[in-house]
Chains A and B, each alone.
Chain A
Amino acid sequence: MLPQKISELKKRLIEYATLVENMIDRSIKGLVGKNEDLFYEVMKRDEPRANNFDREIDEMCTETIAQFDPLARDLRMVLMILKMNKDLERMADHAVNISESGLFLIARPMLRPLDLVPRMAETASAMLKDSISAFIQEDSDTARKVLEKDKIVDDLGDRILQEVTAFMKEEHDGIKRSLHLMRIAHNLERIADLSTNICEEVIYIVEGKDIKHHHGSEI
């Protein structure tokens, strides 16, 4: 019946989130530790797994709605799981993008602006972890705290952009590397944004409040 279906769905989504967290962590570790094996794990082994989760959770949500006609909090839960599933699928793609650019970068001399990337990655990845614990505990306060961290990631992204721009002016043979680095920063920024989506979705499940597009003002 419905309560069992919802708990199966939650369990599956949490497993998916754990996989995506690992993908992001490994793509950054690969970059910092110059370990191409980690990139290949993300691209070849984990991405197909992530796609399977995506398909399976989509199907489970559709069937749950069709068979059990969930209402109120149950309906919000199933609909938001459907959205979180999409958020996680995008994040998995971002981890793959980071790995692809990482592969290009670690085979070449390192760029100085790279120093900021691990910090940015650490914050984005913590945001994802916290958004998932907010979901597990159905805790909207934790979700709100995560939203506040988005600015840190955005600021780091801006700083990387500035440093990369300066670097490109000086070193013309580093343009391609710079673009790859920018791509990594952009993908991390998207991971942080998608983590805030998950938090908005948790708040909607718990409180029934739609706070999308209201960051900064009263949420």
Chain B
Amino acid sequence: MEPPKVFEIENLSSFYGAKQVLKKVSLPIYEKSVTSLMGPSGCGKSTLIRCLNRMNDLVGNFRMEGKILYKSKDLFSKDVDVTNLRREIGMVFQKPNPFPKSIYENIAYGLKIQGISNREYLDGVVEESLERAALWEEVKDRLRESALSLSGGQQQRLCIARALAVKPRVILFDEPCSALDPIATAKIEELITELKQNYTIAIVTHNTAQAARVSDHTAFLFLGDMIEFGTTAKMFTVPKDKRTEEYLTGKFG
């Protein structure tokens, strides 16, 4: 049985000024599963994932056509509170970007700006978020140290913990491992597969092997077109489109 859809992207086209980046892209993103957006540079995958929590609103010359439904409602409707939306739909970026504050403050920050100051509650959330991001054991004795003292892989897990602290439903990952070594990458991938039990996940990657390992569904984009969408197992064994086959076998990209 098909799981419920958290996002329904319908005929989405997007433009930066006159330049069209996405061309009538349609795909679902299913609840509590991992969906990869894969394709060579310039295919529009990052633009697409940034539409999902309206990050592109901040880009001056950005324009879009088509529709994105989030929980069956128009994501771009006027009554959507974008701040709340981004709390529900967290994002982890390519380069780990912890705040220049302590490990503890990095996690508690999102709650503090919401006005939560109960120490006991904050402590609980910090511990729980770090646990879920598989970082607690490594940092529990140094929570007051600067987040910048952590390794790149730890910083990235801290950013995941920070996203988890505000209790999101969806986490978007934009090339989360491209700045990490293979061991740190393996840890993040393992974490993503664990997180999907509780969260809906979309991940942008140009690393086909990573899409294969972590995701349940994969969308292959090429020059702004969505070439193919399907279960990862099928796409990586018998892709339907010749261009997907050629991309996966390294003929281009």
Contacts and interface: CB of A to CB of B under 8 A. Distances in A.
Interface of A: 1, 59, 62-63, 66-69
Contact of B237 (A1, A62, A68, A69): A62
Contacts of B190: 1
A62 B237 CA distance: 7
B237 A63 contact: yes
Nearest to A63: B233
A103 B37 CA distance: 57
22 contacts: A1-B189, A1-B190, A1-B193, A1-B213, A59-B237, A62-B237, A63-B233, A63-B237, A66-B212, A66-B233, A66-B236, A66-B237, A67-B212, A67-B213, A67-B232, A67-B233, A67-B236, A68-B212, A68-B213, A69-B209, A69-B212, A69-B213
Interface of B: 189-190, 193, 209, 212-213, 232-233, 236-237
A16 B106 CA distance: 52
Nearest to A65: B237
Contacts of B189: 1
Contacts, number: 23
A66 B231 CA distance: 13
Contacts of B233: 63, 66-67
Contacts of B209: 69
A206 B252 CA distance: 38
A63 B236 contact: yes
Contacts of B237: 59, 62-63, 66
Nearest to A4: B193
A4 to B, nearest CB: 9
A68 B212 CA distance: 7
A58 to B, nearest CB: 11
A68 B190 CA distance: 12
Contacts of B236: 63, 66-67
A83 B89 CA distance: 45
- A-B pairs with the 3 shortest C-beta distances? A66-B236, A67-B212, A63-B233
Contacts of A62: 237
B184 to A, nearest CB: 16
Nearest to A2: B213
A68 B233 CA distance: 10
A25 B77 CA distance: 67
